[in-house]
Structure 1
Amino acid sequence: MVINTGVGNSKDFSALVSDFISDYSLISPNQAYPLYYYDDLGNRYNAISGYALNLFRRHYKDDSIVEEEIFYYIYAVFHHKGYLEKYKNSLAKEASRIALSEDFKELSVLGKELAELHLNYENGEMHTSVEYNLLENAGMEGYYDVVKMTKKGDRIQYNNHITITQIPKKAFDYVVNGKSAIDWVIERYSITKDKDSLIENNPNHYAGGQYVFELLCRVINLSVKSVDLIEKISEKRFE
C-alpha cells in the first residue's frame, strides 16, 4: 500500500510504500491506499475500483491497462517535484488528487522501480566507503553495537570502531515525513531509556548491531538511488 502524510500533518507531503500492515502511527496523521483488500474469507480484490480502471482505459484508449500500473503511476506522481510544489497547499488541506498525464506509462514504470527499491530496503546494495579501527577485531562481541550515531559533513561516526565516509550530499535529499531517511535511522537506532518506566530501548537486541550498521549503509545507497529516480520522474509531465 501507499502511505502518505495526511490532512493536518505539519510536515511537507511525502509518501512511502509498504507490503505489510503498518503501524497506524507510522506517519501521523496519514492516508493509506492499498493495491489490494481482502474479505473475511481471505479472498483478494483489487482496491482500485472498476470505475477508476475504466476511466484510465478510456482516457488513454488502452484496454490493456491494469490496476497495478495505476498504483505505481500514483506512487511516481506522489514523488514528482513539480506536483509537490504546485499543489503544496492543497496537499496539506485535503486528500491528494491525481491528473491523467500524457506520460502515464513512463511514470508507471518509474514508480514501480522506485517502489521496489523502497520495499527491498533491507536487501539493497550497501554504501561501501567505511573506515574501520584495525586495532580491533571485527569478530569480537559488540564490535558493531551502536549507542548513538553522530553525523558531521559527509561522515557518520557509527561507533568507536566504525566511521562511514564519503556520503554523497544528495543522499540527505531523500526525505520522508519531514526528515531524511538517513536521519531517521540515526535518530531511531540509538539506545534510549523511557523517563517514566526506565525501560531501555536497545536496537542491538533486535538483530544485532551488524544489522543496524548494514541497514544504515543500505539506506544511504537507497537514498542516492531514490533521488536519482525522483529526478527522472520529475522530468515527466504529471498532468
Structure 2
Amino acid sequence: MTFSKIKNKDGKRIKDKSTIIFNKDIIISGIPKEAYQYIVNGNSAIEWIMDQYQIHKTDKEHREAKIIDDPNDFSDDPKYIFNLLLRIITVSLKTIDLINQLPKFEVKDD
C-alpha cells in the first residue's frame, strides 16, 4: 500500500493522500483530507494501518532464513486488509465528525 503521487506547483512529485494504491489492481480514491485528522500513536489511523499491514521481509540478522512476515496470512479472508482499510477510513471520518459536534471544552477558574 502506498499513496499515489502528484506533481506540485514546482513540478516535484508529492504524496496524494486522497488516493491509496492498495495493490497493482486496486486503487482507493476520493479520501477526504479530514480522514487523516483521526490520530493513533502519532499518525493518522489510515497511515498506521498502511504501515502495520505491509509485507515485511526478514530482518538483517536472519536473512538466510528468508522469513517473510505477510499480514495476508493472518486471516483466511483474502479481502481482510482491504476491508479493514475501508473501515478505518469510515471510522476516521465519522469520529472526526462526532468530535467536531462536541461542545467546546472550557475550564472555569474559581
Give the TM bin, normalised by the shorter chain. Answer: 0.7 to 0.9
User: Residue type of the partner of 1:164?
Assistant: I
Q: 2:52 aligns with which of 183, 188, 194?
A: 188
Considering only aligned residues, what root-mean-square deviation do their CA atoms show, in Å? Answer: 1.4
Q: 1:227 aligns with which of 93, 96, 100?
A: 96
Q: Deviations over 1:9-54 (max 9, x none)?
A: xxxxxxxxxxxxxxxxxxxxxxxxxxxxxxxxxxxxxxxxxxxxxx
Are 2:37 and 1:173 aligned?
Answer: yes
Q: 1:200 aligns with which of 58, 68, 88?
A: 68
User: Residue type of the partner of 1:181?
Assistant: A
Aligned to 1:164: 28
Greater share of residues in strand: 2
Q: Deviations over 1:122-156 (max 9, x none)?
A: xxxxxxxxxxxxxxxxxxxxxxxxxxx01132100
Are 2:105 and 1:237 aligned?
Answer: yes
Q: Deviations over 1:74-98 (max 9, x none)?
A: xxxxxxxxxxxxxxxxxxxxxxxxx
Q: Which runs of 5+ in 1 are unaligned?
A: 1-148
| Cα distance, 1:197 vs structure 2 | 2.3
Runs of 4+ in 1 over 6 A off after TM superposition: none
- Cα 1:206–1:238 shift into 2, 3 Å: farther
SS of residue paired to 1:229 = helix
Give, in whole Å, the separation in 2 of the partners of 1:222 and 1:204.
22
Report percent identity of matched pairs.
42
| Cα distance, 1:230 vs structure 2 | 1.3
Give, in whole Å, the separation in 1 of the partners of 2:72 and 2:48.
16
Give, in whole Å, the separation in 2 of the partners of 1:238 and 1:151.
38
Give, in whole Å, the separation in 1 of the partners of 2:34 and 2:78.
26
User: Residue type of the partner of 1:187?
Assistant: D
Give, in whole Å, the separation in 2 of the partners of 1:210 and 1:238.
44
